[in-house]
Amino acid sequence: MSIAVSLIATFGGVCGWVNHFLIVGIIFFVSSFLQINNKSNKGFTLFFLIFPFIVLYGGTVLYDRLFGVTTPQVYPIVLISIINLLIGFGFKLLYLKCSKKIVIAFASLYLIIFLIGGYIFMCNWLHCVWSKKYITQTEQLADIQIWDFSEKEVSFDENKVIVLEFWSIHCSAYFSKLYDLEKINNYYQNDAVVVYAVLIPWHDNYAENDDLEKRLQWIGEQNFTFNVVKMDTLNANKLGIGVPRILVFDKTKKVALDSSVQFIEKKIILNNIYTVIDKLLKE
């Protein structure tokens, strides 16, 4: 069972970092609760439940660390496997000695709290580690040149907060994020905030051009109110701009937020894009 648990916990990463954190927490809590009994050697049971995962997943973290690859997004996942294993063990000890219905009720309540709190925590953790200022190799809006699709260079308005969200036609998951960008644009229905969706082409070939026409047609059908523009690939590479990525520049055209676009929800995320823009508008 320990191998099955570790494989599920390890490959739960295909569901995304937030879901991976929740999957790992739940599976180690439940497996430890189910495996412990009066006849088992409790120490050995816990060890063999967690050991394969620590070797598989924790070994990868250690390898990355030794070779200078920063992977702080995985640290909570390793920690929650140990924490929830021990919490599940604690609930099982109570279950063996106390009222089973009461213990089951409290264990279920804990899992509900974990799911809600874990989602909020992990979203904020990822937002924190992926929102380090100046990941992109620029601090000035002047370094970025964009064009509309009639090949006319776009000039940025003075004394405006500028929001640039970068996208590519090859990132299909990105297109759901355009709705988030529309929410941002609609939330700030004033002339002080200007929002752009900036295409970064991957290749200049007919296949991409055909696909681009379909994507642009789809975008047009959605009646989005933000600006849809494009950027030269060489300029994007020079500045280290990839996708998904969102940059917010203050009124003096200096970068105020350089972040992944995956976590921009209002209220759930501390220091989210809304709070950043609100602060810039007051300056």
Distance CA(71)–CA(64), nearest Å, equals 7
Range of lowest pLDDT (10-19, 44-53, 124-133):
124-133
Three-class SS state of 131: coil
User: Which residue has better confidence, 153 or 269?
Assistant: 153
Per domain, the residue ranges of the chain are 2-129, 141-282
Q: Select from 34, 32, 139, 133 the least CA-distant residue to 87.
A: 32
Q: What is the largest CA-CA distance in the chain?
A: 76
Q: Select from 172, 147, 168, 173 the least CA-distant residue to 227.
A: 147
Q: How many CB atoms lie within 10 A of CB 70?
A: 9
The beta-carbon contacts of 139-146 under 8 Å, at least 24 apart in sequence, are: 139/254, 139/255, 140/253, 140/254, 140/255, 141/249, 141/253, 141/254, 141/255, 142/253, 143/239, 144/231, 144/235, 144/239, 144/241, 144/247, 145/231, 145/232, 145/235, 146/196, 146/198, 146/229, 146/230, 146/231
Tell me the percentage of the chain whose pLDDT exceeds 90.
22
The full DSSP string for 68-95 is: T---GGGHHHHHHHHHHHHHHHHHHHHH
Residue type, 253: K
Distance CA(241)–CA(248), nearest Å, equals 13
pTM across the whole model: 0.68
Range of lowest pLDDT (96-105, 157-166, 232-241):
232-241
- Tokens matching residue 27: 């599976």
Per-residue pLDDT tens for 179-227?
Answer: 888 888 988 887 789 999 998 876 555 445 557 777 777 777 888 889 8
Which CATH fold topology does 141-282 show?
Glutaredoxin (3.40.30)
